[in-house]
Chain A
Amino acid sequence: MTGDPVGRRSGGLTTEHPVPQHIGDYQVLRLLGHGNNGRVHLARPPQRLGGTEEFMAVKVFNGPCPDRVYDRVVDELRVVSSLASPYLTRVFEAGLVADSLFYAMEYVQLGSLAAPRRPLRQNEVLLAVSHAASAAHALHEAGTTHGAITPQNVLIGSQHALLSDVGLGRYLHPGLTMTGLAASDAVEYLDPLVLRGDPPSRASDVWSIGATLHHALAGVGLYGELSHHEPLLAIRAVMSADPVPANHLSPATAEVVQACLAPIDHRLPTAEAVAQRLTDLASQVTS
């Protein structure tokens, strides 16, 4: 009846695979990183896509995707891509290789808020998060949510920031509240109400924007240092403590963060309101 001693194992990464040379007829150049529920590769698109883009970022999701789920995902991606917001990454194509879902989106060269290719000034961070908030608002007005806004998903373009990687995990794995294999600190950007089972909403995306802003400016998370290797400990820490903004944030910034994290009846009601507050703040920092 008894087996080996109970203990943690690193089995969580047993689904790792080597980087493929091709994804369908996309030529893979290298791995860019782990996104929500899958891996993102830098790739050269095939000629059939018209040759408008030299490179694309191709995300391949973990695990199989049944055809009926695929159809829903394609529709969801089309809803997102039909929006007029300039702050959402363009997705060019979705498809199935073997049984796995992939999609190809524009490649943004200057990194993300989590790992920018060059240091960002404070007003650049404020504007980047403002752009991400505008993008989130466009999603909300179109009847959908992002569901997984983190500094990793706010990409730094040459003209403005772009919100990427709209959470599709809920279609692939119903009931999923947080995806694995991404950075295990992703839990600190998730509205605790969603962790407790509430569906993602305008309010939960606003919460995530606040946590993203906080991390990008303060350099630390709302719950202090979370264990990056022990997801369970990170979740327990988040569920048993209240988020506390760092005290070295400027009062004006801390106020916006607090307004995003507040209980729902005191929270900024829309992502657009967050975007406006951040744009105003950025102009004051500049002047």
Chain B
Amino acid sequence: MSDGTAPGSKPRVSATVVPAFDQIAVTVLPGSDLVARYPGVLLVARAADSEAGDQALQAVLDLVEISGEAGGRAPGYRVSRSVTSLIEADGVPNDLVLVAATDDGLAVVLAGAGSVTVPERGWRLDCKRGRVETFEIDWPPAPLLLALGPQAGEERPSASRPVRPTRPFDLRAGVVPGGGATLATAAASLASPTGTVLLASGGLPAPLPPPGSSRAAASPRPPVVAPRRFDQIFGVGPSGPRRDALPLPAAKQFDPPASGALVRGYRCRDGHHNDPRALFCAACGIRMAESTGVFVEGRRPPLGLLVFDNGASFSLDANYLLGREPGIDERVQTGQFRPLVLFDTTGVISRRHAEIRLEDWDVFLVDCGSANGTLVAAREASQWSALVPGQPIRMLPGMQVRIGERDFVFESLQAAP
């Protein structure tokens, strides 16, 4: 602040030209901290000395990258706002300096010992109030030094020399070790002896097409359109009446869902309805021999699970119709069968491919005359067999089924007869 024209006070320098941030050369100064450059953003942060610190630092970098992407050509305000709130919440990193392009200058975030200086003019900005501070400055007329530590600028010989983007220290994009960084001015960049155009990854937004030209022809991207349907959720109440609270847990729950079909079987001592062939209760494991032996009608509990190769599991408490578009079947529309959609990328699954039917205490599998068939294999079998279309087979526990590229297994909950 030696000349009293601190950049933070936003003096208007009439000759300042706002250059494209990503075309400006960045020189990395030697050191063991961390220098990162993303489109529209340059930062120096204190390297962490613990795993926790690494994670916190990574969170800051992720956020910078995300906010930068979202901010387009001038992400400065977004990035500075997001990073400031994260540092305030997390308290890390201890020392950081970040500059990011705005429409007419730079947004600056300083934490701890982070500082920006313009050594040629004697300008300096430090974090003096609180944990983290933000500033808005004009494009500096001479190279801007980002450093950590009060004496960093003075200590480094490179800071007192005219800055040139000398290989291998020119940073175009990414995260590298370093002790500080210098952002050249537009003039310095154009004077680069290599003549290379230095671009951050992601580059600049494409130049606007000349007036009158077809924008669509220049852009290969599909047009961005609103979703087919969209409905506000937050702030809009549900349509139906207010629902009752869920019941508190009952001491014992005997009855399977009321949707279960009525079937005849034995009840165990604790009242669970069981397959008459079962030796042990499927629900509580108690020996059925200890039951009263009364053959009664009751709601059928789920007979097992279909476990798919991706982990999705379906309860066998109803009939299912499997296929690419089972919803077209009338029995699905009338509720006799539940639809189970199989995603297909190979085109070998039929719209209605196979059925799973529950009859009394058994589960049957039927191929619906599918174009490419249904394969089954008993537990531990080494070969697949194709089903004869229309002929049901009784599924045994552990039986594997293959339809197109999808596999599933029948897992029984009942003790094996």
Residues on A lying within 8 angstroms of B by beta carbon are 1-6, 8-9, 11-15, 21-25, 27, 29-30, 42, 44, 46, 48, 54-55, 62-64, 66-67, 70, 74-79, 81-82, 90-98, 102-103, 109-110, 117-119, 140-145, 158, 173-182, 184, 186-187, 195-199, 201-203, 231-232, 234-236, 239, 264-265, 267, 269-270
Please tell me if the beta carbons of A173 and B343 are within 8 angstroms of each other in the complex.
no
Contacts of A3 in B (CB 8 A): 375, 383-386, 402
Contacts of A195 in B (CB 8 A): 305, 313
Contact B253 A29 (CB under 8 A): no
CB <8 Å contact, B67 and A173: no
| Contact in complex: A14, B345 (CB < 8 Å) | yes
Interface stretch, picked from B104-112, B118-126, B129-137, B314-322, is B314-322
Contact residues of A: prevailing secondary structure? mixed
Report Cα–Cα, A54/B78, bound state, in Å: 8
Chain A binder among B6-14, B159-167, B241-249: B241-249
B3 an interface residue at 8 Å Cβ cutoff?
Answer: no
Residue tally, chain B, CB below 8 Å to A = 91
CB distance from B48 to the nearest CB of A (A): 11
Q: Report the minimum CB–CB distance from B215 to chain A (whole Å).
A: 17
Q: Given A63-B343, A109-B86, A197-B413, does the pair A264, B250 have CB atoms closer than 8 Å?
A: yes
CB neighbours (8 Å) of B90 from chain A are 110, 117-118
Q: How far is the CA of A265 from the CA of B89 in the complex (A)?
A: 42
- The one of B59, B92, B226, B400 in contact with A25, judged by C-beta atoms closer than 8 angstroms, is B226
B205 at the interface (CB under 8 A from A): no
Interchain CB contact under 8 A, A264 and B253: yes
Question: In the docked arrangement, what's the CA distance between A270 and B253, Å?
Answer: 17
Report the Cα distance A32→B311, complex, angstroms: 20
Please determine whether A201 and B249 come into contact, CB atoms closer than 8 angstroms. Answer: yes
Residues of A within 8 A of B382 (CB): 5-6
A144 to B244, CA, bound (A): 9
| Separation of A202 and B247 alpha carbons in the complex (Å) | 8
Q: Is the CB of A202 within 8 A of B225?
A: no
B206 within 8 A of A: no
**Cβ-defined contact, B400 with A66, below 8 A:** no
Q: In the complex the two chains form, is A196's CB within 8 Å of B302's CB?
A: yes
B227 contacts A25, C-beta separation under 8 Å: yes
Identify 7 new A-B residue pairs, CB closer than 8 A, beyond the known A3-B384, A11-B407: A5-B383, A29-B69, A110-B90, A174-B338, A197-B413, A234-B311, A270-B248
Q: How far is the CA of A266 from the CA of B207 in the complex (A)?
A: 68
Q: Which residues of A contact B225 (CB under 8 A)?
A: 24-25
Q: How far is the CB of B373 from chain A (nearest CB, A)?
A: 9
**22 A-B pairs in the complex with CB atoms less than 8 angstroms apart:** A6-B381, A9-B405, A14-B343, A14-B346, A27-B70, A78-B233, A92-B233, A98-B228, A109-B86, A110-B89, A118-B55, A118-B56, A140-B245, A176-B315, A178-B311, A178-B312, A180-B311, A181-B311, A196-B302, A197-B302, A197-B317, A201-B249
* Contact A8:B309 (CB < 8 A) given known A140-B245, A197-B315: yes
Find out whether the CB atom of B318 lies under 8 angstroms from the CB atom of A196. Answer: no
Contact mask for chain B residues 366-391; partner A; CB cutoff 8 A; 1 contact, 0 none: 00000000010100011111100000
A6 to B398, CA, bound (A): 13
Measured CA separation A90–B234 after assembly (Å): 7
Q: Which of B244, B308, B341, B386 contacts A180 (CB 8 A)?
A: B308
Kindly list chain B residues whose C-beta atoms are within 8 Å of the C-beta of A173.
312, 314, 340-341
- Interface positions, chain B 225-270, Cβ under 8 Å from A, are 225-240, 242-253, 256-257
| CB <8 Å contact, A44 and B343 | no
- Is B311's CB under 8 angstroms from A231's CB? yes
Which A residues are in CB contact (< 8 Å) with B308?
12, 180, 231
Given contacts A79-B243, A175-B318, contact A119 B55 (CB under 8 A): yes
Specify which of B85, B307, B327, B343 lies most central, judged by the most chain A CB atoms within 10 Å of its CB.
Answer: B307
Q: Are A202 and B383 in contact (CB under 8 A)?
A: no
A55-B66, A93-B230 known; A231+B307 contact, CB < 8 A = yes
Whether A92 pairs with B232 at a CB distance below 8 angstroms is yes
On whether the beta carbons of A6 and B384 are closer than 8 Å, the reply is: yes
Please measure, in the bound complex, the distance between the C-alpha atom of A251 and the C-alpha atom of B404, giving whole angstroms: 51
Expressed in whole angstroms, the Cα–Cα distance for A82 and B225 within the complex equals 29
Q: How many angstroms from the CA of A77 to the CA of B221 in the assembled complex? A: 33
User: CA A67 – CA B69 in complex, angstroms?
Assistant: 34
Minimal beta-carbon separation of B97 from chain A (angstroms): 21
User: How far in angstroms is the closest Cβ of chain B from A11?
Assistant: 4
Contact A93 B232 (CB under 8 A): yes
Asked if B15 lies at the interface with its beta carbon under 8 angstroms from chain A, I say: no
Q: Which of A118, A119, A196, A269 has the most CB of B within 10 A?
A: A118
Q: How far is the CA of A93 from the CA of B375 in the complex (A)?
A: 42
Cβ-based interface call for B406 (8 A)? yes
B214 part of interface (Cβ distance < 8 Å) = no
Closest 6 CB pairs of A and B: A197-B302, A143-B243, A180-B312, A12-B310, A231-B311, A24-B227
Minimum Cβ distance to chain B for residue A109 (Å): 7
Interfacial chain B residues near A21, Cβ < 8 Å: 221
Query: Are the C-beta atoms of A96 and B317 separated by less than 8 Å?
Result: no
Assembly CA distance A187 to B305 (angstroms): 13
The answer, among B70, B302, B381, B400, for a CB contact under 8 Å with A55, is B70
- Report the separation of the CA atoms of residues A5 and B383 in the bound assembly, to the nearest whole angstrom: 5
What's the Cα separation between A273 and B254 when bound, in Å? 25
Alpha-carbon gap, A98 to B302, bound state (A): 34
Q: How far is the CA of A155 from the CA of B58 in the complex (A)?
A: 18
Q: Is B63 an interface residue (CB 8 A)?
A: yes
**B242 contacts across to A, CB distance below 8 A:** 142
Question: Which partner residue on chain B sits nearest A97 by CB separation?
Answer: B227
Q: Flag whether B152 is at the interface (Cβ < 8 A).
A: no
Q: Could you tell me the distance in whole angstroms from the C-beta of B362 to the nearest C-beta in chain A?
A: 16
Q: Residues of B contacting A201 with CB < 8 Å?
A: 246, 249
Q: Does B216 contact A (CB under 8 A)?
A: no
- B17, CB-defined interface residue at 8 Å: no
Q: Please measure, in the bound complex, the distance between the C-alpha atom of A82 and the C-alpha atom of B242, giving whole angstroms.
A: 11
Residue B217 interfacial (CB < 8 Å): no
Partner of B309, one of A9, A90, A119: A9
